[in-house]
Amino acid sequence: MTLILEQLLNGLQLGVMLFLLAAGLTLVFGIMGVINLAHGSLYMVGAYAAAFAAKLTGSFLLAIPAGLAAAALTGMAVEYLVIRHLYARDHLDQVLATFGLILFFNQTIILLFGRQPLFVQIPPALSGAVDLGLFPYPAYRLCIIAAGLLSAGALFLLIQRTRLGMLVRAGATHREMVQALGVDIRLLSTIVFGLGALLAGFAGLMAGPLLSVQVGMGEQILILTFVVVVIGGLGSVAGAFWSALLVGLVDTSLRAFLPQILRGMMAGSEADALASGISAMGVYLLMALVLLIKPKGLFPGHA
């Protein structure tokens, strides 16, 4: 029971990280119809900016606004300089252009920081473990879960209860009509892209103390983020939230429990190899199953 609960928390922690990435990605696609492969690069920018600020100041608290500002400003600059010219273009053009941005960001990071990864220390106040009764659990991972859930709640209130959120929902439904009603759709697109970049940067800076901050770290998680968006439904932030939790729990559970289950059926080395292969493709099997039952995803934004 202790192992199950611990892995559920690990899955929840992975899920909220995926949600922060998937929410920005589905916002951008929902209102602008742009497939942004460079979204993972904004995650990397946030992680590097926070790691560099933490190294300079010695404070993780000061690194948080640095990572958020760097990711948001980079995202808005990318929208203004590149993405704005792709709205009316085919999705293939968008894929090629944003793939080029990935190469640009990776080389820029290499020029600025080199190829060696940066390591960020967990803040001393969160370096210990919290006794949950049945078992202790790392305080920093609990902080990530709480921050992710609070961000999800704040994003829901922003989209459902504010004028900006109303414009975002209207723009996702009918972009041309919103523009005809006098809304500066270009400014709205820049703000939405910046918000998506900020969420990606937030995920990156929180992942820094758990993972090494390195070139290409955004591509490693981008494919999993696209899986979350597809399962949840394109353009649906609520779908991104629930599918992120589902993917996080499924991925973590397969990696934690499948080797033990298979060891009861076959030799240890064979069981580990088979479990590794099944775990690696588990979320993709889940996506295929969901699309067979609901081709538009669990909570499609435009049902």
Half-sphere exposure of 15 (CA within 13 A, CB side): 27
Residue 123 DSSP one-character state: P
* Residue 92 identity (one-letter amino acid): L
Q: Give residue limits of the domains in the chain.
A: 2-218
Global model pTM greater than 0.85? yes
Distance of CA 211 to the CA centre of its chain: 15
State how far the Cα of 43 lies from the Cα of 1, in Å rounded to an integer. Answer: 34
- Burial code (b: 16+ CB inside 10 Å, e: under 16) for 80-99 equals eebbeebeeeeeeebeebbe
- The answer on pLDDT for 169 being more than 90 is no
Top pLDDT among 208 and 184 is at 208
- The answer on pLDDT for 119 being more than 70 is yes
pLDDT tens-digit readout, 71-87? 999 999 999 999 888 88
Q: Mean of the pLDDT values across residues 150-174?
A: 83
Burial class (CB in 10 A: 0-12, 13-18, 19+), 273: middle
Q: Give the Å distances, CA to CA, from 28 to 47, 179, 188, 230.
A: 21, 17, 11, 14
- Collapsing DSSP to helix, strand or coil, 62 comes out as helix
State how far the Cα of 122 lies from the Cα of 250, in Å rounded to an integer. Answer: 27
The pLDDT of residue 301 is 63
With beta carbons less than 8 A apart as the criterion, state whether 50 and 208 touch. yes
Distance of CA 219 to the CA centre of its chain: 11
State how far the Cα of 46 lies from the Cα of 36, in Å rounded to an integer. Answer: 17
- The answer on pLDDT for 222 being more than 70 is yes
Helices (H), the chain: 2-32, 39-57, 60-81, 91-113, 139-161, 163-173, 175-180, 185-207, 217-232, 237-263, 268-293
Q: Mean of the pLDDT values across residues 39-65?
A: 92
Pair of tokens at residue 156: 């829901």
State how far the Cα of 172 lies from the Cα of 22, in Å rounded to an integer. Answer: 16
- The answer on pLDDT for 289 being more than 70 is yes
**Banded model confidence at residue 68, pLDDT cuts 50, 70, 90:** very high
Distance of CA 260 to the CA centre of its chain: 30
**Banded model confidence at residue 303, pLDDT cuts 50, 70, 90:** very low
Q: What is the mean pLDDT of the chain?
A: 87
